[in-house]
Structure 1
Amino acid sequence: MVDVTRFRAAVVAAVLLLSGCSGDDEPSGAPAPSPPSPPASVTPTPSATPSPTPTPTPTPPHPVSLPALMQQPYDGGDLALGEVLETGDGYTRYAVTYGGAGLTVSGILNLPDGAGPFPVLVLAHGYIDPDVYTTGRGLRREQDYLARQGYAVLHTDYRNHAGSDDDPANEVRLRLGYTEDVVNAVLAVRNSGIPQLDGERVGLLGRSMGGGVALNTLVVQPGLVDAAVIYASVSSNTVQNFDQWTRGQPGAEDLTAEIVAAYGAPEANPAFWRDVSPVTFFDRVTEPVLIHHGTADDTCPPQWAHDTDAALRAAGKDVTLQLYEGEPHAFEAGWQLSIERTAAFFAQHLAS
């Protein structure tokens, strides 16, 4: 049998021994206890390690879109003077070519008399049937007036026009190639070795269809130019342009079918049509913009100018809308006032 009395005494002694190691009852002068050894490292089991979350891959933009133009590289250059077309009142008119996107694009350059360097204006013309278009056609009044004010004026013909290379897909691509041509025209000026050109001071002027090209350029390449003037422009909402000149228009049935087959109608694929409309991206604009529009314009409704102006203002941009009472799309009696305002606007924003 177990001796209960002796067992209890052993338990009491063990308890007293343990309580003495706590330090509360440590006798005076006793050595301090050694700190405990650190615990051995514990390797977590594989199930305790969280799996890393994969970084989502950004969806690339549709290749026919303004976001795609924003991301692509540009290589405008090789601006070359060709033959002298004429000498005028204070300037010489040259045939020119420049390169970009694997294409050669033709145009004209009005160079003021003198050594320069002169600030440069790149001009984007409105729609003229490429079959009848000749180099430099479309903004002749503006080319002449602005050159006589001391600006070097580069008027791009665009691809598929005059002496430019062909791009058979441009119409189905909603003519976004023209925007590439204007971006590359500015870069060709900036990269030019022509001493009369001041590539640090460049403005942009677009009329009608070219107004839409200019708006595209401002959202695709913010800061590329110093200021922009828009004359009698098409809508900044591409759906309105599609309906005005393509969908439902006689002779445009085949093109309409190709576009709808490629991208869907605006009602079926609104996201695509938003991404080809510059108004969607007006938050990117950095340049001051001057808009001229006639109240009697029956080609590009004046409401489009009001809408573009309002959208730019809503985005906090520097925009001025000048309306001309009774002026048609081509501008007649009000043109002189408009071009004087244009010259003053560029003088303000392209000052050295």
Structure 2
Amino acid sequence: MALRVRDAGRLASTATALVLLAGCTSTPEDDPAPADPSSSPSASTSAPPPPSEEPSEEPSEEPAEPEPTERPRPISLAALAEADLTGGGLRLGAVRERTATYTSYDVTFRSTTAGAGTAPLRISGVLNVPAGRGPFPAVVLAHGYIDPASYVRGQGMTRERGFLAERGFVALHVDYRNHAESTDDPRIETAVRLGYAADVAAAARALAASRDVRVDPDRIALFGRSMGGGVMLKALVAEPGLFAAGVGWASVSSLEGQNFDHFQRPDAPVAALRAGFRGRHGLPDDDPAFWRGVSPRPDFDEITEPVLLVHGRFDDTCPPPWARATQQALTAAGVDSTLEWYDDGHAFGPAFVAAMDRTVRFLRARMPA
């Protein structure tokens, strides 16, 4: 049975939770705290018997032993949900672009640390702020996979960022840890990139707390494309209620084992894969429980926000059946979800404007002024 994220409880200490987030598999789990003797019921609350009466042979009723709480694996979406995810310190940098409808800035903000005893991560990004007084609705953008070695600040969703800002949305493109000017987290790959979900959650908190940008904290959505669609679903599972809505374009599968088999298994022999970082967890065939634990689909019932999925019928990067399976699983879990199809490929060329118009209508309906 899938572990319900919120049922696990926030039992870990702050330092341990941050290490779990970073994916440090060598960190021992803390033992549950012993029961507080002062909170146990007394053995008997009745008055002592008179001297002439024999003592009762009935044993006193012992307090019930608390049931042990199941702890999530250190590297899992459940552990991410238990971690103390933080975010703030949004700082505006150089102006990148100024138009009649918006101004674009280089920005940085703080995200959850890479491990106990380390400083918060510094995450870079690009922020488009509409002209006007606000407060504005906002959209956090989670980009798709681009090799971090060649990635540059704000890459991957430039069109979406401008389109949203022109229509009155603050749009914050997140570079993720290990990208552009963001701080490196040396354990990000070992943790199957769960830290990316922490970074977009931090972005939402940074926008909500900003004094420089007037954002309505109750109207912040999350929009991911390709790999970022998976980041979006993980963030909604780990942080229900943080965002007002979620959008996923041309998304990867909501089962990480499928993503591994599709994108990485074909590129290397099994022996090499077993020897690599993922060998520490076992391949999907070796340890299916681990791969389900880092996937959002088993815990879709944690999601409280409406979700719009957009997919191209001719997508040859993320197979269209993935979108259909994700949307069906969302609906089965009780999530308000919609899947829109377009005659386009993975990158969305001819259908871009139509799909963005549909996305804006969805966001405005879910985040009314």
Aligned to 1:22: none
User: Is 1:212 matched up with 2:227?
Assistant: no
Residue 276 of structure 2 aligns to a residue in which SS?
helix
Residue 48 of structure 1 aligns to a residue in which SS?
coil
- 1:176 maps to which of 194, 199, 214: 194
Aligned to 1:274: 292
Q: Name the % identity.
A: 46
Displacement after TM superposition at 1:72 (Å): 0.9
Displacement after TM superposition at 1:42 (Å): 3.8
Displacement after TM superposition at 1:63 (Å): 1.4
Aligned to 1:329: 346
Displacement after TM superposition at 1:300 (Å): 0.2
- 1:135 maps to which of 141, 148, 153: 153
Equivalent positions of 1:1-352 (< 5 A) are 40-45=52-57, 48-49=59-60, 51-101=62-112, 102-250=120-268, 257-325=275-343, 327-352=344-369
Offset from partner CA, 1:119-163 (integer Å, 9 cap, x none)? 111000000111111111100110011100000101100000010
2:142–2:200 contact (8 Å) kept in structure 1: yes
Displacement after TM superposition at 1:195 (Å): 4.3
Residue 246 of structure 1 aligns to a residue in which SS?
helix
* Structure 2 unaligned regions, length at least 5: 1-49, 113-119
In structure 2, what is the Cα distance between the partners aligned to 1:251 and 1:351?
A: 51
Residue 56 of structure 2 aligns to a residue in which SS?
coil
Displacement after TM superposition at 1:275 (Å): 1.1
Structure 2 counterpart of 1:121, one-letter code: V
1:211–1:233 contact (8 Å) kept in structure 2: yes
In structure 2, what is the Cα distance between the partners aligned to 1:149 and 1:121?
A: 12
Provide closer, same or farther for how the CA distance between residues 86 and 57 of structure 1 changes in structure 2, counting only shifts above 3 A: same
Aligned to 1:24: none
In structure 1, what is the Cα distance between the partners aligned to 2:257 and 2:62?
A: 46
Q: CA RMSD in A?
A: 2.0
Displacement after TM superposition at 1:114 (Å): 1.5
Structure 1 counterpart of 2:316, one-letter code: D
Provide closer, same or farther for how the CA distance between residues 317 and 148 of structure 1 changes in structure 2, counting only shifts above 3 A: same
2:129–2:213 contact (8 Å) kept in structure 1: no
Structure 1 counterpart of 2:72, one-letter code: P
Who wins on radius of gyration, i.e. which is larger? 1
Offset from partner CA, 1:247-303 (integer Å, 9 cap, x none)? 241499756533443222222322211111100001111111111100111100000
In structure 1, what is the Cα distance between the partners aligned to 2:88 and 2:107?
A: 12
